[in-house]
Structure 1
């Protein structure tokens, strides 16, 4: 492996980990939003602002991470793993993480329209999905178990 490949891979991992940090925290904001009293407009607006900014920042991190991953795959020959099961599983989980990001946006919109019907407990469980996704993606990428 060349030095350039390793640098690109490291930068890719930094952006993916940063994207997931946003995905770890955004549902925590939802937990807090779900517990805000109806008459606490300032707190609700502050949390919504935080959620909007974090979602946008997470989207940027996601796009850069995906672009770097595509560059690794197409430009540096990482595509040679295309016939291996671990890569298919990893890519499927990445698609799941992208979907999770979009589901978070849908929840944020519901909070903005005062239409949320989920409890703070539901969002606590929802928040754990990202931990499982991240762990599985890292294990597949590093260990390459199959």
Structure 2
């Protein structure tokens, strides 16, 4: 297989896993909103299961997104990376998303232990952060300013 075809496969897989990751990273904080705003013990019990399962389900998608993304960077090479300032911004934003994802583990644990001190309103704002970051990443990747 030539290098171009390998790169195309990496790009396709990167995008597939990114979409799957974001489906989860958009939905999980919405579950947090419902959980924070509910007072029903049965609802809390169900949401605890859903939150944990969803987070563990989408985490491999995050890892695979990173693997194929860094694989593309490797194929492009360091010289390309040095002159692509838009990619530096994108990588910082991806790093922020990874930290966001990891922080979700802490939130799932807090919900599991009934130790959440944040309001539904806070979780609504928390839910919007990855949307904004995704918009910026897509604009950077497409326009390459």
Structure 1, gaps ≥5 residues long: none
Structure 2, gaps ≥5 residues long: none
Residue in 2 that maps onto 1:81 = 80
Report the Cα offset of residue 41 of structure 1.
2.3
Report the Cα offset of residue 141 of structure 1.
1.4
Mapped contact 1:28–1:124 kept (Cα < 8 A): yes
Residue in 1 that maps onto 2:103 = 103
Residue in 2 that maps onto 1:14 = 16
Residue in 2 that maps onto 1:58 = 58
Report the Cα offset of residue 107 of structure 1.
1.3
Mapped contact 1:26–1:54 kept (Cα < 8 A): yes
Question: 80-89 or 22-31, which moves further after superposition?
Answer: 80-89
Q: CA RMSD in A?
A: 1.4
Between the aligned partners of 2:70 and 2:28, the Cα distance in structure 1 is: 26
Deviations 1:103-129 (A, max 9, x none): 111111111111111111111111000
Residue in 2 that maps onto 1:2 = 4
Report the Cα offset of residue 79 of structure 1.
4.3
Report the Cα offset of residue 7 of structure 1.
2.6
Report the Cα offset of residue 11 of structure 1.
1.5
Report the Cα offset of residue 81 of structure 1.
2.8
Is the partner of 1:115 in helix, strand or coil?
coil
Q: TM-score, normalised by structure 1?
A: 0.90
Report the Cα offset of residue 78 of structure 1.
5.2
Equivalences, count: 142
